[in-house]
Amino acid sequence: MGGKALIQQVLLVDELEQWVEQYRSKASEGKCASYIPALYRADPNQLGICIIEPTGKMHTAGDWEVPFTMQSISKVISFIAACCYHGIPYVLDRVDVEPTGDAFNSIIRLEMHKPGKPFNPMINAGAITTSSLLPGQTPDHKLRYLYAFFSKITGITPMVNEEVFLSEWENSHRNRALAHYLKDTGYLACEVEEALEVYLTQCSIEVTTEQIALIGLLLALDGFHPLRNEQVLPKDVVRLAKALMLTCGMYDASGKFAANVGLPAKSGVSGGIMTLVPANRKTHSPFQYGCGIGIFGPSIDGCGNSVAGVSLLKHIAQEWDVTIF
């Protein structure tokens, strides 16, 4: 690495460390998800970030190595996996691509809009439907397909946090209600309990910011894995997933996030945010060739998004001029 590049890298990490410490205190404006008791036990003051560039170079700060469960970030992976298996038209016949402006676990639109097709795969109704579409006759088979898909693209064998899974399974009345409604309207491709088992298990896959930054990087590069020099995901599916992340990925705060940060992103109630910067022509920006970004900060706001994580991303987007707009 040349002297100038080395200095730039040191400055980036210094800046990141400084900003993480600056935004850590934002945690006090939210709290850890309490409807899943195992998530409520997290330390709300944690905040970490990992950024991966196409060269594989990583920039990290704060609590970036702390494992957490993917929760709703997994919705992006299961949607992509279902599209890869069935093709986009088959999946979009069963789940739409419209934002709702409602909470991630809201039921209201299913009955208000006949025939009850879920609005998008980034909210619970749509994600439970997509999980039911994964190939396989049993939850076990569907999950094995998803794990193999996850390993194929990331090179990582997924681990499920059983404690978080059980904690949510025992408290999943609202998701059960959604699944029963979807079964009644014919949108669920398997039995209610089976779809829930797949959906809640995928939410309980444990990752670190590094792993979601890597997935973000693959999305930034339209499915191309720069280190393996291989197209690991189809471009059209990835582009669709990014459009959904931008319009629906931060739930009923997706509009504000697009306005304030301007990057496709997906959050989860455990405090993770997976986002990305596509390659751009901004030669003054440190991420001209694109990057994947993983964030973890378990204190969340009323919409279910990491409070400190969103503030940190807003700051980064402004300082480094990385919006897609």
Ligand X SMILES: NC(=O)CC[C@H](N)C(=O)O
Give the residue numbers marked as catalytic. Answer: 72, 75, 199, 251, 269
Asked if 277 and 287 count as a contact pair (C-beta separation under 8 A), the reply is: yes
Supply the minimum distance, in Å, between the C-beta of residue 18 and ligand X.
29
Q: x/- contact string, 272-301, with ligand X (CB under 6 A)?
A: ------------------------------
Within positions 132 to 191, which residues make up the interface with ligand X, using CB under 6 A?
A: 168, 175
Residue 199 annotated as binding? yes
Q: Which is nearer to ligand X, 32 or 203 (CB)?
A: 203
The closest of 73, 125, 136, 70 to 96, measured between CA atoms, is: 125
Report cis status (omega within 30 of 0) of the bond before 115.
yes
- The 8-class DSSP code of residue 303 comes to T
- Pair type for strands 48-52 and 58-62: antiparallel
Within positions 24 to 83, which residues make up the interface with ligand X, using CB under 6 A?
A: 71-72
Q: Which residue has the tokens 């196409």?
A: 54
Q: Which is nearer to ligand X, 218 or 303 (CB)?
A: 303
Q: Which is nearer to ligand X, 249 or 262 (CB)?
A: 249
Asked if 77 and 146 count as a contact pair (C-beta separation under 8 A), the reply is: yes
Torsion 232-234-235-237 (CA) sign:
negative
Kindly give, in sequence order, each residue whose CB lies less than 8 Å from that of residue 154, ignoring residues fewer than 6 positions away. 211, 214, 215
Residue 267 annotated as binding? no
197 near ligand X, judged by CB under 6 A: no
Q: Which is nearer to ligand X, 60 or 306 (CB)?
A: 306
Q: CA-to-CA distance for 322 and 325, rounded, in angstroms? A: 9
124 near ligand X, judged by CB under 6 A: yes
Binding residues for substrate: 72, 124, 168, 175, 199, 251, 269
Applying CB under 6 A, the residues found at the interface with ligand X are 71-72, 104-105, 124, 168, 175, 203, 268-269, 304
